Amino acid sequence: MGWEYRNGQKYYYRKHRIGKRVFSEYIGKGFYAEMAADQDAMEREEARLKKEKILLLIEESDEVDNLIEDFDEFCKFTKNAMLINSGFRLHNGEWRKRRYG
pLDDT in tens, 8-42: 889 999 988 999 999 998 889 889 999 999 999 99
Element (H, E) at 96: strand 94-97
Q: In Å, what is the CA distance from 11 to each residue of 4, 7, 87?
A: 5, 10, 83
Amino acid identity at 74? F
Task: Return the DSSP state at 1.
Answer: -
State how beta strands 88-91 and 94-97 pair. Answer: antiparallel
d(CA 5, CA 85): 81
Closest CA to 28 of 43, 7, 13: 13
pLDDT of residue 66: 94
pLDDT of residue 63: 93
Global pTM exceeds 0.75: no
